[in-house]
Structure 1
Amino acid sequence: MFELKIERVIDAPVAIVWQAWTLHYAEWFVPRPWTLEVIENDLRTGGRSALMMRGPDGEENSSEGVYLEVVPQQRIVSTDALKAGWVPAEPFLVRIDEFAEHAGQTRYTARARHWSAEARDQHAAMGFEPGWNAATDQLEEVVARLKRG
Structure 2
Amino acid sequence: MTYELAIERLMDAPVGAVWRAFADHLGECWCPRPWRAEIVAQELRPGGRSAMVMHGPDGEKMPQEGVYLEVVPDRRVVFTDAFASGWVPQGPFMVGFLELTPEGERTRYRAGARHWTAEACDQHKAMGFEAGWGAVAAQCEEVARRLAESGT
2:17–2:145 CA contact under 8 A, matched in 1: no
The residue number in structure 2 matching 1:92 is 93
The residue number in structure 2 matching 1:107 is 108
1:65-106 deviation line (CA, Å, top 9, x unaligned): 000000111100000001111111100000010011113311
> Percentage identity across aligned positions?
55
2:13–2:105 CA contact under 8 A, matched in 1: yes
> Superposition RMSD on alpha carbons, in Å?
0.7
- Structure 2 residue ranges without an equivalent (≥5): none
Partner Cα distance (1:134, 1:111) in 2: 13
The residue number in structure 2 matching 1:45 is 46
Partner Cα distance (2:109, 2:136) in 1: 13
TM (normalized to structure 2)?
A: 0.96
Alignment of 1:1-149 (within 5 A): 1-149=2-150
- In structure 2, the residue corresponding to 1:46 is in which secondary structure? coil
CA apart distance, 1:28 = 0.9
1:42-80 deviation line (CA, Å, top 9, x unaligned): 111100011100101111100000000001111000000
- In structure 1, the residue corresponding to 2:108 is in which secondary structure? strand
Please identify runs of 4+ aligned residues in structure 1 that moved more than 6 A. none
CA apart distance, 1:132 = 0.6
Partner Cα distance (1:59, 1:104) in 2: 39
**Matched residues, number:** 149
Partner Cα distance (2:41, 2:112) in 1: 22
- Structure 1 residue ranges without an equivalent (≥5): none
TM (normalized to structure 1)?
A: 0.98
